Structure 1
């Protein structure tokens, strides 16, 4: 008894070793349907392969197969029915009564009364048939042998190429149809087109404090972001040159006034003095106008706040001693309660924006806060911004009751029209492909 068990085990190991050493699928199929008889006595065996083409690939005692033969067609139909039967399991004892009527009627024409059906993993199935029933011990040995054959068949499993995958999806099964329908619905799901841009909180309707004259800034009287009242001194221009001009104009006016006084006295006794008096009067009026103009220009060198607000500029040291041209902006006077959002939409990511569109600001300094705004206007022309990029300036009005602090920087999400999700996902790749291909 022990010798029989040892012989059986040695035979099983030998078959598994031979299966692992097979050079190709045909050689392995020959071993499966013919040499398995050393371990399990049977009269007929058939190997069925799954994969790209589901078919009987080997029969015991035959070197070449004829796919159109009636026996082959019947065997293929039996294997397909067993593979589709969810109650078949990994292995089972089989006879004619287990098959549907259209297949069982031909059983006696092709196979002995008792068969053993073994599942080879996902690689196929093996059918062994003989005249006597199968024992439980033989069933267990057959299952172990089938497990080894399945492992050996896996290395010769056909690889699915893209054509087969395409054909499978073009002729989808119910589960694949559901997946395709879900993907289609997801691709067509509407989503709001949006772009992230750099943004800043800027004053609304600010007053620009410009240099009244060309000159050098002598003193900045306020600090950056300082609140000021109306009439508060803001900055002064250097008055050295204008002070000299004003003093010279005043001296010339005094001299003209003295000359007019002398000529007016002479005009009382001399007719020629009347002509000189008229000339001196004209000269006096000219010098008076020049002196008054110099005084007014001197007063303009002292710039004060025309209204209450906050002065916005970079740094006092950046401006003191700096030469400015007439009309050059020095600082901005803004009302901190009247602010708006300025965003710069990159030209490469420009979307269709209209007044009234939605904008959301995410401040850099407050990661948990956000502010809603409404687009007021969009520049029609892109201009260079930081980094040398071209961008469209977008102005938006805050709709929240509490607006953000003036000067706050952050990221704004600018919203456009509703588009399908597939358009949102493929917009940038399609744009890059179009630019590269030139269509």
Structure 2
């Protein structure tokens, strides 16, 4: 006759193992352990206890009151049972009395009979104790090996679910314990933590050179500023940007129509004053009254002549010429055409191509004590693998507002490359300024310490 699968312990063990492998939550595994183990060994209540966390699950309920007197008594009992080496075993109140008399005296109140205590195979945070209480009279001791096999399968499933969260901590704890046990047998100068500390101290005290970074560009050194010599409107430009010019070469011209009209009027006024002066000079030979007006007419003539000379000088300056050789530095000439300019307004620069400098803007937090001739290295954005070397010429004593909305110090550095190199005016990039030597610890912690000090105001 075929045996019913529900009464075959081996088939029940296989079914429990299959179901445990399909569970995807730890709480589901806990619930299955305390409730479904009854199919192999009948009992009325099971308690799952985890070392360091107390009672984790109780059969027959989804939630329990951890502060109830029964749960508090179990919390004292389970650590005592977990400390026993010979598990599994059937325990009575007499077995607990030598361990803790108070817990043993309360045994009849809460259990009233023996219990079976199993040690679940432990690995990391796998629970270590399962207590089956109030066993039913009909017990088959032949199922005990199958029950232990079911616990081993359950523990394997638990480790598979718990490893992503607890495995790293378990490995690190085990490695730490192994390392501490090995270190205790070595002399103090050979202990790894001493060697690591000394190496770390030597690394933090290793001298490094202080460096700061700042946005920079190539600018002309000592350029000739071409400013507006008079007030008016620019009519024409004779040079293009980056064009080479010679001294005396026309650069741009004003619209001089109004100036020429004033010059014609002044010329006519001079001629009229001369005619009037000659007329009275002839009459002065015979007329005393005309002779008295000669001085006033002479002064009037001189005044008109001065006005004429001034307008002629203005007309001569209407065409601006280069005062030295160089390269015309200007953004876009067409933007100046038709634009009114004031006297002294800068229109363009004349730069020498062999006299270039690096201009950087140093932030307030990076203002260090630099040597007068400190090294500067300029990394161009277009040519990052071809840096240019320079020497610090000066740092402005006062910070200036920048278009980005912050203050910075102007820094100028003279390029040390020979004339005729690949440096060009307007190239932008990052300048690296080298200061004195300092320990690596200060180099790493300089800005964090400054931020903390500003925040705490100490």
TM-fit CA distance, 1:318: 1.6
**Partner Cα distance (2:413, 2:170) in 1:** 63
> What does residue 411 of structure 2 align with?
394
> What does residue 449 of structure 2 align with?
430
* SS state at 1:286 partner: helix
Write the mapping of 1:20-59 to structure 2, written as runs, cut at 5 A. Answer: 23-24=50-51, 26=79, 27-30=81-84, 33-35=85-87
> What does residue 133 of structure 1 align with?
none
Whether the 8 Å CA contact 1:375–1:397 is kept in 2: the answer is yes
**Equivalenced residues, count:** 315
Q: Deviations over 1:158-180 (max 9, x none)?
A: 997xxx9xx999x9971111111
**Partner Cα distance (1:62, 1:368) in 2:** 82
Whether the 8 Å CA contact 1:22–1:28 is kept in 2: the answer is no
TM-fit CA distance, 1:186: 0.8
**Partner Cα distance (1:234, 1:185) in 2:** 64
TM-fit CA distance, 1:227: 0.9
Deviates more, 1:282-291 or 1:249-258: 282-291
Instruction: Tell me whether 1:284 sits opposite 2:311 in the alignment.
Output: no
Q: Deviations over 1:278-305 (max 9, x none)?
A: 3222221221111111100111111011
Distance verdict in 2 for CA 1:334–1:22, change over 3 Å: same
> What does residue 224 of structure 1 align with?
241
**Partner Cα distance (1:394, 1:158) in 2:** 54
**Partner Cα distance (2:307, 2:371) in 1:** 54
Distance verdict in 2 for CA 1:172–1:300, change over 3 Å: same
Q: Please point out which of 295, 302, 305 is paired with 2:319.
A: 302
* SS state at 1:388 partner: coil
Distance verdict in 2 for CA 1:259–1:182, change over 3 Å: same
Distance verdict in 2 for CA 1:172–1:435, change over 3 Å: farther
> What does residue 213 of structure 2 align with?
196
Q: Deviations over 1:56-89 (max 9, x none)?
A: xxxxx99759xxxxxxxxxxxxxxxxxxxxxxxx
* SS state at 1:400 partner: coil
TM-fit CA distance, 1:187: 0.7
Instruction: Tell me whether 1:318 sits opposite 2:330 in the alignment.
Output: no
**Partner Cα distance (2:97, 2:200) in 1:** 48
Q: Deviations over 1:381-410 (max 9, x none)?
A: 111113111110001111222552122111
Name structure 1 gaps, 5 residues minimum: 1-9, 11-16, 38-60, 66-119, 124-144
Distance verdict in 2 for CA 1:184–1:276, change over 3 Å: same
Q: Deviations over 1:81-121 (max 9, x none)?
A: xxxxxxxxxxxxxxxxxxxxxxxxxxxxxxxxxxxxxxx99
**Partner Cα distance (2:379, 2:50) in 1:** 65
**Partner Cα distance (1:23, 1:276) in 2:** 128
Q: CA RMSD in A?
A: 3.8
Name structure 2 gaps, 5 residues minimum: 1-12, 14-32, 38-47, 53-78, 90-95, 101-121, 126-151, 160-165
**Partner Cα distance (1:360, 1:296) in 2:** 49
Q: Deviations over 1:32-61 (max 9, x none)?
A: x32489xxxxxxxxxxxxxxxxxxxxxxx9
Instruction: Tell me whether 1:179 sits opposite 2:206 in the alignment.
Output: no
**Partner Cα distance (1:210, 1:266) in 2:** 51
Whether the 8 Å CA contact 1:354–1:377 is kept in 2: the answer is no
> What does residue 349 of structure 2 align with?
332
> What does residue 372 of structure 1 align with?
389
TM-score if structure 2 supplies the norm length?
Answer: 0.61
TM-fit CA distance, 1:369: 0.4
Whether the 8 Å CA contact 1:377–1:395 is kept in 2: the answer is yes
Q: Deviations over 1:179-213 (max 9, x none)?
A: 11111111111111111111111111111000111
* SS state at 2:454 partner: helix
